[in-house]
Amino acid sequence: MTDQPPLASSPARIPLIPTILVALAVLVMISLGVWQLQRRGEKAAALALAAANPGRPAVSFPKLPPVEADILFRPSSIHCLRVVGWRVEAGRADDGSTGYRHIAECATGAEGPGALVAVGVGQKPDDIPNWTGGQVAGWISQEPDHRALVERIGGKAPPLRPMLIARTAPAGLKPAAPPSAADVPNNHLAYAVQWFIFAAVAVIIYILALRRRNKSA
């Protein structure tokens, strides 16, 4: 009785359409990572420009977002007709102490988007400041960023509204710390790394899935 030759193993089969879809998804994630690296350089240049803005002449307060780098942190002023609401955020006072920053939502006319004013920093979040509006001077900044991480990573987050940081505070509050470029994070490198990690994980998962599929075939 003669021995039968061993059967040759069939070559691994790679499904065409799923592979194309995964490759396209990986390419999109890599391009988003490269775009974030480009945005990192643009953000660094914008912050360098904004760092010198507090000492420059005053400009008109912007009505709509986004706040451009050439006016970020510039001195400005607005007239708050009336306060229509309050926000409370963690914040730092001009003397270095921490507390709760009280942000007024102001009406500036019969219509329009109004304006945000960080009037000062207090020790209790539920104390409503004794401030009903009026002329207020300070520095142009942006509202606190509560946008979803996925929106920010993908570049689809809505722009932050302009906010005035008041130079002086009403009774019972401390003046808020003046804006500083050091307080504005440049997270684009971290976002780029996350997109590259997503791409690598997608490739690894797909390779493992192909191996499992070919073993069971």
Q: Tens of pLDDT along 115-139?
A: 999 999 999 998 889 899 999 999 9
**Residue 2 banded pLDDT, cuts 50, 70, 90:** low
DSSP three-state, residue 203: helix
Residues 172/102, Cβ–Cβ less than 8 Å: no
Q: Tens of pLDDT along 29-72?
A: 999 899 888 888 888 877 777 778 888 999 999 989 999 888 99
The whole-angstrom separation of Cα 100 and Cα 86 is 12
Cβ neighbors of 176 (< 8 A, separation 6 or more) are 91, 92, 93, 94, 101, 118, 119, 120, 121, 165, 166, 169
One-character DSSP codes across 32-89: HHHHHHHHHHHHHHHHHHHHTGGGSPP-PPPSSS---TTTTT-EEEEEE-EEEEEEEE
**Residue 214 banded pLDDT, cuts 50, 70, 90:** confident
The more confident residue out of 65 and 216 is 65
Q: How far is CA 16 from the centre of its chain?
A: 38
Mean pLDDT of the chain: 87
- Model confidence, pTM: 0.70
What is the percentage of the chain residues whose pLDDT exceeds 90?
Answer: 52
